[in-house]
A and B are shown apart, each in its own frame.
Chain A
């Protein structure tokens, strides 16, 4: 055995260098091989969420924010982009049914990312899905699936602004019934929505003026 002989430092560095090189090559290969699938998964998850928050949509068009204008986004679907996108949903006749808007903000433990549907003709939120969150399992994470809480967002007026009330005390169309035991997470969702609607609503306007509409649609 050669264990008593000290190996040269070239050999030591060489071993690590070769290990690193092989590792790098393998990782690049696996990354390239899995990338299309991973992007497709992300795009599919986004699509599924969009159709959930815009239940009447049969087609969606991504729109990018350019300056203060919404323009059709033509980049490849699912590819990572620096553009801020929202999604215009249309029904089978080409009428606008609403916009799906991604929004995010601080939750109880980490950033909550969510997507909500907004119908400009009713000036109301018509659906909300949590995309990513690390809220406490068993308590705060109820914002993801609690049916009573999610029902709040099926027709929720955004004016003057959203308000969180205790469970069962919802009286006005702009109020959200909180979940008992998940108050902080509910408050986070409401404040994310308030912030995002304040930012996006002026750009969306009534939904018709700033984006191209398919001619022949019902007024």
Chain B
């Protein structure tokens, strides 16, 4: 990371979380919800949205209060703020989406312990003005939701033959029950991580070749 007050821009801070610094696929954080609740696309989406609400809310508050919170008690204060948002989202889901709330169960309350949230608060929102902090939170939350939805879609498609509850694989498809069981989470995650690692490697090779074209020729 760059020194004390690096210049931050809205756009890049927003976009980096979606792909380049995706919290699940690149930073490999927040794996418990990413594996535990993603047995269907809807569950992935709702979990992602709940986490997004908490992350964006907490990042906004922490960024606004960053000069008022003494650093000695910052982590405890962050946790109080995060836990408040988590409990609010828990009540809201129970009131507005009782079915989804029943499905996600304890994992909503466990958002408090999601290291993506505390990580972004500590590494970014507590050190940056509110505008870019919100951009960072929106991007990271988007990336997290994208990741959970991807895993959820793969598992629902193969494990139940449907997407968002609609049958898409036809009556002759035999669902792979393992995909909606815990091992399915690990399998999907492993395959996606491998794909991401491969893409990264290819990109790194390409940019290396682009930055030293002469060297390559000279060496020949």
What is A's interface to B at a CB cutoff of 8 Å? 3, 7, 11-12, 15-16, 19-20, 22-23, 26-27, 30-31, 34, 37-38, 41-42, 45, 132, 134, 136-139
Contact = CB atoms under 8 A, between A and B. Distances in A.
6 contacts: A7-B72, A12-B73, A15-B69, A23-B81, A38-B98, A41-B95
A132 B180 CA distance: 19
A18 to B, nearest CB: 9
Looking at chain A's contact residues, the main secondary structure is helix
B72 A30 contact: no
Given A7-B70, A30-B88, A30-B92, A137 B77 contact: no
B185 to A, nearest CB: 11
B18 to A, nearest CB: 29
Contacts of A19: 77, 80-81
A11 B188 CA distance: 48
A34 B101 CA distance: 14
B177 A23 contact: no
B93 to A, nearest CB: 9
B73 A15 contact: yes
Interface of B: 39, 68-73, 76-77, 80-81, 83-84, 87-88, 91-92, 94-96, 98, 102, 105, 159, 175, 177-178, 180-181
B71 A3 contact: yes
B106 to A, nearest CB: 10
Given A19-B81, A132-B102, A138 B94 contact: no
Central interface residue in A11, A19, A134, by most chain B CB within 10 Å: A19
B72 A138 contact: no
A100 B71 CA distance: 58
Contacts of B72: 7, 12
Question: What 9 A-B pairs are tightest by C-beta distance, nearest first?
Answer: A138-B177, A37-B95, A34-B95, A23-B84, A41-B98, A34-B91, A7-B70, A19-B80, A38-B94
Contacts of A23: 80-81, 83-84
| A37, A42, A45, A134 interface centre (most CB from chain B within 10 Å) | A37
Contacts of B96: 37
Given A26-B84, A138-B159, 6 more contacts: A11-B70, A15-B68, A15-B77, A22-B84, A37-B96, A137-B180
Contacts of B80: 16, 19-20, 23
B39 A30 contact: no
A15 B180 CA distance: 45
Nearest to B106: A134
Nearest to A22: B84
A12 B177 contact: no
B181 A136 contact: yes
Nearest to A40: B95
